[in-house]
């Protein structure tokens, strides 16, 4: 999926966001247990994705999983606290480009599909992640 598509989806789902209660998305993602499974599947997809797997070679996968779970929980309106580093701090110097970013979003979509998360909920989560693009991609 191209970045323009992701950004367009982010814009389009603005209406859906306003119509939802803050924790609706959290429930649609299956609450904490669903988000944990989702993030585990995402990390497996990343490990199998030759476009980006190398960038995670030296990563602390347990920490990464915990921080991603916290982050998605908070973003979706769940009762969590994000205790990780900022997106700018954690991605600085990693030379992440648009292709890498889009690959990770595709891996996330595949994980959400395998969890039978509705397209509407998928779009809302991506809309919440899309604004982080500027802090993650190298300029
Ligand atoms: C919306 C997109 C993304 C989100 C929400 C995200 C989120 C995160 C989070 C929460 C952390 C952990 C911060 C911490 O340890 O305190 C992290 C670390 C990291 N991210 Fe991302 N990230 C995204 C995109 C990417 C992309 C595209 C890549 C590369 C292809 C990438 C590579 C990494 C790496 C290598 C780490 C460090 C892991 C470690 O050293 O243990 N991220 N990211």
Q: State the Cα–Cα distance between residues 10 and 128, nearest whole angstrom.
A: 7
Per-residue pLDDT band at 8 (split at 50, 70, 90) = low
126 lines ligand 1 (CB under 6 A): no
Reading the block at residue 85, the tokens are 């580093």
Q: State the Cα–Cα distance between residues 136 and 100, nearest whole angstrom.
A: 10
Q: How far is the CA of 134 from the centre of ligand 1 (A)?
A: 13
The pLDDT assigned to 5 comes to 57
Span 128-133, average pLDDT: 98
The pLDDT assigned to 23 comes to 79
On the question of pLDDT at 61 being above 70, the answer is yes
Q: Which residues contact 106 (CB under 8 A, 6 or more apart)?
A: 1
Ligand 1, closest atom to CA 58?
40
For atom 42 of ligand 1, the residue with the nearest CA is 91
Q: How far is the CA of 91 from the centre of ligand 1 (A)?
A: 6
Domain ranges of the chain: 3-136
Span 20-32, average pLDDT: 88
86 lines ligand 1 (CB under 6 A): no
Per-residue pLDDT band at 123 (split at 50, 70, 90) = very high
Per-residue pLDDT band at 19 (split at 50, 70, 90) = low
CATH 1.10.490.10 is right for the domain spanning 3-136? yes
Instruction: Name the percent of the chain in helix, strand, coil, to the closest 5.
Output: 70, 0, 30
């Amino acid at each position: 999926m191209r970045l323009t598509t992701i950004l367009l989806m982010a814009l389009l789902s603005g209406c859906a966001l306003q119509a939802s209660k803050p924790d609706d998305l959290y429930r649609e993602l299956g609450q904490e247990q669903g988000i944990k499974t989702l993030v585990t599947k995402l990390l497996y997809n990343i490990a199998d994705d030759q476009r980006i797997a190398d960038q995670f070679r030296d990563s602390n996968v347990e920490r990464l999983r915990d921080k991603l779970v916290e982050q998605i929980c908070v973003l979706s309106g769940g009762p969590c606290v994000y205790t990780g580093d900022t997106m700018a701090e954690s991605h600085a110097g990693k030379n992440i480009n648009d292709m890498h970013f889009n690959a990770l979003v595709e891996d996330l979509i595949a994980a959400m599909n395998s969890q039978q998360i509705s397209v509407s909920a998928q779009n809302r989560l991506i809309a919440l992640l899309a604004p982080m693009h500027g802090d993650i991609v190298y300029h």
